[in-house]
Amino acid sequence: MMTSWLPELSGRSGPKYIQIADAIAEAIHEGDLNTEAKLPAMRNLAYDLGVTLGTVSRAYQEAERRGLVGGEVGRGTYVKSDGRYPQPRAPRAFALGGVRDNGINLSMAVPPLGDGGAELAQTIREISKDTDMCSDMMDYQGHSGLARHRHAGVQWVARAEVDTDIECLTITNGTQHGLLISMMALTRPGDTVLVENITYPGIIHIASQLGVRLAPVEIDHHGMKADALEEAILEHRPSAVYLVPTVQNPTAVIMPMARRRAIAEVVQRHRVLVIEDDIWGFLPDQQMTAIAALIPDQVVYVTGLSKAMAPGLRVGYIAAPPGANDAIRATSRMSSWMTPPLMAEIAMRWLDDGTGEKLMAWQRDEAKARMKIAADALVGHDIYGHEHSYQIWLTLPDPWRGETVRQQAEARGVFLLSGESFVVGRQPAPPGCASPWVLNQVQDDAVKKMCWRPDGAMPWSKVPPLRSGGRG
């Protein structure tokens, strides 16, 4: 039976669709909407609230993503959660993430493994010969990591010309953990952080969980625009700026030095802190100079080894300015106490004995080879990528929408991400469907599957209209 429930939006903040989704969650939690209750038809609710049908559609999608409701074609949308437990507010990219039992998963950040398993076995054998060290690693260690492990981290960040010492370097459980620590240490609920207007979904997830508002800054083919950044700083007075200068996710842009200097000049002049995510810095043939090297007193530099060497090697590094270091360390201690010393020991040995360089060289070669496969399979289509990345952005022709393509690909066992997963703020989604991990664990048949039309024909350029309206 359809409910006559109408959400109360006064006093709520955020985009209208989030306000409606929050109202649904609150009504379920308070018992105003019971399990199996049917929500109002989207068109009717849009009329009653004075909003667009698209706004209500996004709200219902958000509520479904949180696990609160479920929709059935021809039946409507029904409550399926009693609201006793809070539901995650992850972006679609994170909701889709995780290891899948079947199909071809191109939606998850899983670089190919190469010979990492064999190298790990050999390293563990070597470590096991030193029983005293093994005993020590079973005990509590310093919150920021053992000194010898931090020395290895100092050498790693020096590749990007980041000059730090072990007292300002903290070892983390991977780069994602490092980003969480940095955001927790540098922001408070209600703060604003500036980001690229198309950005890494992981930072969207972190901000959502911390109650931090993200404000978009325009990008072009060289990355974040310096003039747009300055305008955004003046408008929003942010606590920090987050950006990925090297192999940006999802565009794969590598910011040139001239643009890095321009960005550095703007943030230095306005005394704004920067969180620089350099997880992909190892991929280009030539290491790029980090923004942290240009303005070290204002940049928290976050990097790691999981993409460079192996996903299971959960070792990351934060090089922080002295002024931010205490907050970074305190937050690290609170979030995980310490990075497992065995992981850090393996990382140190691989950085010292050349294993790391061997694995990274393999990654670079593999990225180039797989990007070529993708480019050949998608010839004639509007794609954007870079030979030094595992990311591809496929621009769709009118009137195709990224979400439609994602659904059609999923029906064929290929899991992608639509452009909506990367968008910050109320801006419309770009006309694209991203496969950030194209060919990360499959061969060229996977990419060819991406090219199929719903009716079984190829190519995209000949797709007939499915619906009118937006793209992306």
pLDDT digits (tens, 9 = 90+) for 268-313: 999 999 999 999 999 998 889 999 999 999 999 999 999 888 888 8
What residues contact residue 108 under an 8 Å CB cut-off, 6+ apart? 96, 97, 98, 99, 415, 437
Report the share of the chain in percent with pLDDT over 70: 82
Query: DSSP 3-state assignment of 216?
Result: strand
Looking up tokens 């790693």 gives: 156
Q: What is the pLDDT of residue 186?
A: 95
Average pLDDT over residues 198-212: 89
Average pLDDT over residues 100-105: 63
Q: Where in the chain is the domain with CATH 3.90.1150.10?
A: 95-111+357-462
In angstroms, rounded to a whole number, what is the distance separating the alpha carbons of residues 33 and 390?
44
What residues contact residue 323 under an 8 Å CB cut-off, 6+ apart? 297
Q: Where in the chain is the domain with CATH 3.40.640.10?
A: 137-353
DSSP letter at 418 equals: E
Cα-based distances in Å from 16 to 4, 21, 30: 20, 9, 21
Q: What is the pLDDT of residue 185?
A: 95
pLDDT at 353 over 90: yes
> Max alpha carbon distance in the chain (Å)?
72
Q: What is the pLDDT of residue 381?
A: 77
Start-end of H helices in 31-146:
42-49, 53-65, 92-96, 116-128, 131-137
Average pLDDT over residues 11-21: 85
DSSP letter at 200 equals: -
3-class SS letters over 386-416 = CCCCCCEEEECCCCCCHHHHHHHHHHCCEEC
Q: Which CATH class is domain 137-353?
A: alpha beta
Average pLDDT over residues 151-161: 96
Mean pLDDT is lowest, of 36-40, 159-163, 185-189, 257-261, for 36-40
Q: What is the pLDDT of residue 437?
A: 44
CATH number of 16-87: 1.10.10.10
What residues contact residue 320 under an 8 Å CB cut-off, 6+ apart? 168, 169, 170, 300, 301, 328
Domain 95-111+357-462 fold: Aspartate Aminotransferase, domain 1 (3.90.1150)
Q: What is the pLDDT of residue 405?
A: 77
DSSP letter at 2 equals: B
Q: What is the pLDDT of residue 84?
A: 59
Q: Where in the chain is the domain with CATH 1.10.10.10?
A: 16-87
pLDDT at 469 over 80: no
Please give the structure tokens belonging to residue 128: 């096991």
In angstroms, rounded to a whole number, what is the distance separating the alpha carbons of residues 385 and 374?
10
Amino acid at 118: A
Q: What share of the chain is helix, strand, coil (3-state, %, to 5)?
A: 45, 15, 40
Q: What is the pLDDT of residue 64?
A: 82
Start-end of H helices in 139-225:
147-158, 175-186, 201-210
Number of CB atoms found within 10 A of residue 454's CB: 15
pLDDT at 457 over 50: no
